[in-house]
Homo-oligomer: A and B are copies of this chain.
Amino acid sequence: MSFKLGVVGATGLVGGKILEVLEERNITPQELYLLTTKKSAGLPLYFKGTKIFTREIDVELFSKLDYILFAVGGDVSEEFAPKAVQAGATVIDNSSRFRMAPHVPLVVPEVNPETAKEHQGIIANPNCSTIQLVVPLKYIDDEFGVKRVIVSTYQAVSGSGKAAMKELRKNAALQLAGYYEDTERKAYPKNIEFNCLPHVDDFTESGLTKEELKMINETRKIISPNIKISPTCVRVPVVNGHSEAVTIETEENNINPEKVREVLKTGAGIVVNDNLGENDYPTAIDCDDSDQIYVGRIRKDPTLTNGINLWIVADNLRKGAATNAVQILEYLLQT
């Protein structure tokens, strides 16, 4: 199918990964426009060996495009996504801005691809920490019924953008060289290097952070409003790749690790790495630059007959953002 594509935020971390994933999956738009804010316009980027200069976001251009992937902050999406829709394009938006809007499908292709068809111009890509949770959760829900989930995250700084990655590396290097007093904090309110902050996105009146509320609300929208989620979101000094320690209470009693392992092994998008005798469990570094979701440490919750504990890892920039958006695009192109 011939189509014209725009990528808004092409010079950002997720934008760059979108170009990589499009290329790897051999998706070839008839025309490709790489759009950015004014500051980053005019830069040369490469797609399949061809140099393409970035252009400033241009509402006039939107009418030439069939699909536009937005990989920018909520403010920019809020301003331009509706204009793109008005101009006739379909938007796949990576920001949190439209995710909970009633008429916007929130799509993880392994979980609820068919909801994408109900879009009214905008389809939302879920939050990174939600995506890697809901894929295994959906398979477990289908088989055993999920009642309640307690999740603690170990989230990489790449989720905060390029400046945060630099801040971690630079501050760590300064500390190791003996210049702790010269470390600077801009990305986070406290030093992240050699530290863990129970603080991802802003705090809200409820005592939960926005990140924690996203995990709760998005998971319910994607799988079922009956699932209860109790999250703690923590930023850790990892460059890329989110990990999650997850406790799941199921409808079915006498759930056991073998059954869960079998279900997950056959699930699209999942790799089970779970052989403790060989220290086989996933970690952030192992999963860097992969499109899969990795699950390990699948074990009985020692406190419940209907409980299972597991450890989930994924590349938050790929499956947690860019890859998921491109998978949605693929689905739309195929249907």
Q: Which residues of A contact B (CB under 8 A)?
A: 148, 150, 152, 154, 169, 172-173, 176, 189-191, 194-199, 203, 206-208, 216, 228-230, 232, 234, 236-239, 243, 245, 247, 257, 276-277, 279, 281, 283-286, 296-304, 307, 309, 311
Q: Evaluate whether A284 and B172 lie within 8 angstroms (CB atoms) in the complex, with A232-B245, A245-B152, A257-B207 already known.
A: no
For this complex, 8 residue pairs linking A to B, each with C-beta atoms less than 8 Å apart, are A148-B303, A189-B279, A190-B283, A206-B300, A228-B302, A230-B304, A232-B297, A232-B311
CB-based contact B229/A302 at 8 Å: yes
CB-based contact A237/B234 at 8 Å: no
CB-nearest residue of chain B to A229: B303
Known: A150-B303, A190-B279. 13 other contacts (CB 8 A): A148-B303, A154-B154, A189-B279, A194-B239, A196-B283, A196-B284, A197-B281, A198-B283, A198-B297, A199-B281, A203-B276, A207-B300, A230-B247
CB-based contact A207/B150 at 8 Å: no
* Complex: A276 Cα to B199 Cα, angstroms: 9
The 3 closest A-B pairs by CB, nearest first: A207-B299, A152-B152, A228-B303
Cβ–Cβ < 8 Å partners of A195 in chain B: 238, 283-285
* Complex: A239 Cα to B236 Cα, angstroms: 13
> In the complex this chain forms, how many copies of it are found?
2
Tell me the smallest distance from the CB of A227 to a CB of chain B, in Å.
Answer: 9
* Complex: A299 Cα to B233 Cα, angstroms: 13
User: Of A150, A208, A298, A311, which is in contact with the most chain B CB atoms at under 10 Å from its CB?
Assistant: A150
Cβ–Cβ < 8 Å partners of A148 in chain B: 303
Tell me the smallest distance from the CB of A179 to a CB of chain B, in Å.
Answer: 13
CB-nearest residue of chain B to A285: B195
Cβ–Cβ < 8 Å partners of A169 in chain B: 176
* Complex: A236 Cα to B276 Cα, angstroms: 19
Q: Is chain A's interface secondary structure helix, strand, loop, or mixed overall?
A: mixed
* Complex: A324 Cα to B197 Cα, angstroms: 26
Cβ–Cβ < 8 Å partners of A279 in chain B: 189-190, 199
CB-based contact B154/A196 at 8 Å: yes
CB-based contact B297/A207 at 8 Å: yes
* Complex: A203 Cα to B281 Cα, angstroms: 12
* Complex: A245 Cα to B151 Cα, angstroms: 9
CB-nearest residue of chain B to A274: B207
CB-based contact B228/A194 at 8 Å: no
* Complex: A285 Cα to B238 Cα, angstroms: 16
CB-nearest residue of chain B to A205: B276
CB-based contact A245/B198 at 8 Å: yes
Q: Evaluate whether A154 and B236 lie within 8 angstroms (CB atoms) in the complex, with A198-B297, A207-B300, A279-B199 already known.
A: yes
CB-based contact A247/B190 at 8 Å: no
* Complex: A225 Cα to B238 Cα, angstroms: 37
Q: Evaluate whether A194 and B150 lie within 8 angstroms (CB atoms) in the complex, with A230-B247, A230-B303, A279-B189 already known.
A: no
CB-nearest residue of chain B to A237: B237
Cβ–Cβ < 8 Å partners of A191 in chain B: 285
Cβ–Cβ < 8 Å partners of A243 in chain B: 196, 198, 234
Cβ–Cβ < 8 Å partners of A298 in chain B: 207
Looking at the complex, which one of B216, B276, B301, B303 makes contact with A302 (CB distance below 8 Å)? Answer: B216
* Complex: A234 Cα to B238 Cα, angstroms: 13
